[in-house]
Chain A
């Protein structure tokens, strides 16, 4: 994620097009490009997408899971684009014909750590997603080989960490049977 100097309003951000297909987050009026991640990142993202999709189908839930194309407006001039997001069908319908930026909290968000996002994912986004009242936030960390599941309790996240063959425990997907290793290997 690299940073440009240009100052944009939220409206300018919505219509921003620099002729490339690079996606940007908006942080205090500045654009932060989402640079291509390492291959492992994509493997994990797709694995999670499929697992959560199947679980939503199996339980016939009115939810939708999406990969990095939905923005969260965490502050007046901030838009974050998480690697993965689970929202209600109602929320999905609300953004169908407009810019895909949620102003209401989705059910779950996941970020997959890459070397340059460590502090942003563990610190800044932990704060921002809690302030936005997102009930559950997963941090998948292939560098440290662990998965943190953060659960919102009265406006602040409590953290549970999972490693190796431990089964992860998700308050949103209570019946999901996945180990930390499965997610980290993406198979």
Chain B
């Protein structure tokens, strides 16, 4: 993710098109292009999406999981594009409206890549907590661990899982997945 120096308003961000298909996050008026995901990254995303989808079905929860690309306006001047997010219900957006939500999802997932380490573990940890997202997963294939952050009185407490450990998610209490399964994406 490299940064442009151009300053855009929210409206300009919505209609931004530089002729490429590269998607950008919008942070304090600046565009941050998202570099194309690696195959490993994509495999994890797809695996988790399917697992969440099946678990939501099994329990009849009615929640809506979205893979990659749904915008979340975490602050007045910021739009993030989490790798995966789950909403309580189908967002009330018109068909032709930009897919950017202003209400907090129940859960977001970020999959760490070499250039996103401090952004995922630090900046977004503050930002997602301010936005009151109750659960934040950081899947880290580099450090081979899965961190599950739970919002408790406005601050995330962290639990880390590695290897054959079963991950513990407050939202998906019955989900039977090990850290390795998620990290391998199979």
Contacts and interface: CB of A to CB of B under 8 A. Distances in A.
Interface of A: 74-76, 119-120, 122-128, 130-131, 153-157
A119 B118 contact: no
Contacts of B95: none
Contact of A154 (B123, B131, B154): B123
A156 B154 contact: no
B130 A156 contact: no
B172 interface: no
Contact of A127 (B76, B119, B126): B126
A115 B153 CA distance: 15
B129 interface: yes
Which of B75, B121, B124, B126 is most buried by chain A, counting CB atoms within 10 A of its CB?
A: B126
Interface of B: 74-76, 118-119, 121-127, 129-131, 152-156
Nearest to B117: A154
Contact of A156 (B75, B76, B121): B121
Contacts of A153: 122
A126 B130 contact: no
A123 B153 contact: yes
A74 to B, nearest CB: 7
Nearest to B155: A123
B32 to A, nearest CB: 13
A131 B127 contact: yes
21 contacts: A75-B131, A76-B75, A119-B153, A124-B155, A126-B154, A127-B126, A127-B130, A127-B154, A127-B155, A127-B156, A128-B130, A131-B75, A131-B130, A154-B118, A154-B122, A154-B123, A155-B118, A155-B124, A155-B127, A156-B125, A156-B126
Nearest to A127: B129
Nearest to B130: A131
Contacts of B154: 119-120, 123-128
A127 B75 CA distance: 13
A124 B123 contact: no
A156 B155 contact: no
B154 to A, nearest CB: 3
Contacts of A125: 154
Contacts of B122: 153-156
A123 B152 contact: yes
B123 A155 contact: yes
A119 B152 CA distance: 10
A124 B153 contact: yes
Contacts of A75: 75-76, 130-131
Given A124-B155, A127-B130, A128-B130, 8 more contacts: A75-B130, A76-B75, A120-B154, A123-B155, A128-B154, A155-B122, A155-B127, A156-B121
B171 to A, nearest CB: 19
Contacts of B155: 122-124, 126-127
